[in-house]
Structure 1
């Protein structure tokens, strides 16, 4: 067994995670459905990598994500923090109010009602759903979600273990107010929260036979960055040999301000410095605007709705981690090719003379069909960097790339074979003459596309067909097509270790130096209030300098000459 434990910390991280687990739930359902496409029934993916088997006190078998989710109190909407499968009483520690003997003022709000989607799940489980009304209900459900999602549980179709969902007890705050590193700095260590969170992680890790890694998603746009940093520091001490893949995710909504303040800039610098020091691979995800990017070529994305943007990032997360759960097969397999574990990917991207732990993640959804003369270029040119502040078309002959392609189509209605995908990728790199070919190009392929579950947002344009194929003419007048129109999507993702990430690093290093360290710096009061001394900041700056010099040796030379 090669288990992976997933951690989701913060509001947007849980939005991304909710879509991710919906994809997995859909795969499980399609694999057991005798009427589904055979490509889903023989996907050769080991779902036990992400899931654990168990049973309730009543002896009912369960299959739940190996997940620890952390968020603010009250963030679960209509879902109980104990999940939906187990009817046990809460074992979490009581709020501090139970030890208070003075007057208590109780403020109670009306419980939230289930939306149409959650009602339909409940009715289905109660076996009272009516098949005749299913199509109408599905249309109503899709419309309800597109208009009314408020929290990540509103569209989650997965069941969760009682140890999975953790709310930060005693911290009643809107996510908009939990908006910088200093606010979250002591949250993990206070009120036994850190101990409780670590106990939940320990529950999942200790039952693993051979854990291959931890996949950690954090919404690093505010106070959750500090919570995650303290959590990661604790993990580094306890799980020394377990590699951590860290995804820092941000919604376009958290980046809407036209001009970053001194506090914002210092938050970005300190957040990155702290988080990156406790992981094997750090992947920033979150463009200031998806709507204005190449990702929106065939999609209709609203930056103001986390429900939509998180779906794009979750699809990339699903695709990029598929090699970790591919069943080992022979080299001539017709379904999947080139499985790898977390440690192999880390060594590939960080171990070729550069100790660069910051990777870029690119994605194409839907990936282009491999047909006609277009195959030589569109596979690479269609990829959109989901990592912010990177240089386009940089020449770096020391770059390392690892690509994963799911469900590629040979033409509008024909699935491509693994060998055809390999040939197309080779041709793409050979024809990409605008920049040097990377030092290493790794490729993993699965014929199983990304399934589109019912609660997926209606983001597909009218040039996207039922199997995610790119059509030559619009299929309808509607600009917003969803899961009732598009059933699966081919997806391509690419990890890159490249000097293209230099602007991201240099901006944070420069802001830390200019705003936090220099004598009389504008942000000196801010970092002091956050509890950071000058020596600690200088150590952070030195670590950032090493990262920059790994990718740009000239930087080290110029620093020495200064």
Structure 2
């Protein structure tokens, strides 16, 4: 059976924060031997990962990824990675005359990266002990053994760090590569050379700043080549995951890449997540206006060139003013990128499981086609992280206590979950059938939850009651999401090490290693409210007074066309009653 491959693109610094947590989460769930498996294999990692081979004929296992960021954003990470030894250091100099070598001072490694470096050194010595039969003989045996050598050390290291004194990484993390535990392919990282990260004199903060990037022919050919490198080795490419920032110039960069994907890969699913970080610049009227205009231009383009897209932020509002971060039960997180991106990555990892399953997986295109009917290309996202299930509490009792309310919080801003969705895809993980049955008298339980014996039945009956005839799909997995080092410890003291809720505090120094959770991807009338509020905020902007946009090539007619498209998109979400 083909692997139904996906290629992931991360465009922007905050999107790379989310992506880094996402890849770390996935690698922490790798199982390296049958003895480590706690149940049946539920997730097919080959959907997002690729198997390769380096110069030493050692098997590598890396994400099928192209990550875009600005010059100066990688810090300790080499653009070409470490696995393949590309030899691009420039030490082999043929010039016979005098040579002056200039090298930048290397950034010091933080405690987490130092621990990974030590593990990689040990892995190199282990790999030398692999027999020739394992390397070059039976392919399946050799592949599995070498995958273990390549990746297992990192998983073991996370376990070791989790059991020792907690590592406070918050003081050491400035960029996403500071906590990257995944090895990338040399084709994965594309650096935008025209702009520098956090450059005060020439910031990459306007949607149309991307025009300068696209005008560089050599650079454009380079990132196109990176995308084709991963797509051409796929046997059954089902589409693309796109994670992009929309509050700065990366919105324009992402929009241009989406246009290219739509033209180059017709018929493939393009599932886009548009991020606005909860700590985006918001101290001046100019910064707020820039965020609104960038978002309007980005959203207008994304809706045109994506199969489906989801606005995502932990800020409660992102248009006229950046709202406070939403409150999530049992979490104590800060509005810093390291924390907020972890929550969003956990949500993304869970909602994407239906098309990453080992068996009975659905095609990405089928999901996006189901959601974007009648022009509804905008979806909303909700999460219950952690699930909030008490220790010794049954799943039936958990759902019955919510009555007519949903048990999740929206991570799409300006959504209140007050309207019934047209269609939704709900994924629950980390719950077993042993946690289902209630000790409560069945006569005191809601009829739709009484006498059920499986987690699938409980979730389906609950959603059937709440959806009132609207469409929904469910998936239930036993494997909880892993939250080991370098995942931030953002859980309050009442969350146990396995993610359940307890009335007594968790022992001091004990980490939360795994968490059950629930996500809901929805096409809902409230998605129209999100776009309507953006349209109303953007329509108040007199673009002629924003001279930098005009200088960067934005025409007044183009801006007005964007507003008209947003206004038309809002009408797609009106219900029959509202249309009368």
Output the TM-score relative to the length of structure 1.
0.83
Q: 1-side partners of 2:271 and 2:396: how far apart?
A: 38
1:186-197 to 2 correspondence within 5 Å? Answer: 186-190=212-216, 192-197=218-223
1:388 to 413, 429, 434: 413
2:463 to 429, 432, 442: 429
The answer to whether the Cα contact below 8 Å between 2:316 and 2:413 also exists between their aligned partners in 1 is no
Aligned to 1:102: none
Q: 1-side partners of 2:572 and 2:190: how far apart?
A: 38
1:275-424 to 2 correspondence within 5 Å? Answer: 275-288=302-315, 296-303=328-335, 305-329=336-360, 339-351=361-373, 354-369=374-389, 370-371=394-395, 373-378=397-402, 381-395=406-420, 399-408=422-431, 420-424=454-458
Alpha-carbon displacement from aligned partner over 1:479-523 (angstroms, at most 9, x marks no partner): xx7xx522211121111101112222112222343324xxxx664
What secondary structure sits across from 1:493 in the alignment?
strand
Aligned to 1:111: 106
The 1:444/1:542 distance shift into structure 2, 3 A limit, reads same
TM-superposed CA distance for 1:71, in Å, is 0.4
Aligned to 2:275: 249
Aligned to 1:12: 14
What secondary structure sits across from 2:169 in the alignment?
helix
Aligned to 1:269: 296
Aligned to 2:36: 36
The 1:232/1:135 distance shift into structure 2, 3 A limit, reads closer
5+ residue gaps, structure 1: 93-104, 330-338
The 1:502/1:148 distance shift into structure 2, 3 A limit, reads same
Aligned to 2:95: none
1:177-216 to 2 correspondence within 5 Å? Answer: 177-190=203-216, 192-216=218-242
The 1:134/1:22 distance shift into structure 2, 3 A limit, reads closer
The answer to whether the Cα contact below 8 Å between 2:310 and 2:378 also exists between their aligned partners in 1 is yes
What secondary structure sits across from 1:186 in the alignment?
helix
Aligned to 2:498: 467
Aligned to 1:542: 564
Please state if 1:150 is matched with 2:174: yes
1:531 to 536, 542, 553: 553
TM-superposed CA distance for 1:13, in Å, is 0.5
Q: 2-side partners of 1:413 and 1:473: how far apart?
A: 23
Q: 1-side partners of 2:516 and 2:7: how far apart?
A: 26
TM-superposed CA distance for 1:456, in Å, is 0.6
2:184 to 157, 160, 164: 160
How many positions carry a matched residue from both structures?
A: 513
Q: 2-side partners of 1:49 and 1:91: how far apart?
A: 33
Further displaced range: 10-19 or 531-540 = 531-540
The answer to whether the Cα contact below 8 Å between 1:283 and 1:387 also exists between their aligned partners in 2 is yes
Aligned to 2:259: 233
What secondary structure sits across from 1:192 in the alignment?
helix
Q: 2-side partners of 1:395 and 1:357: how far apart?
A: 17
Q: 2-side partners of 1:349 and 1:227: how far apart?
A: 25
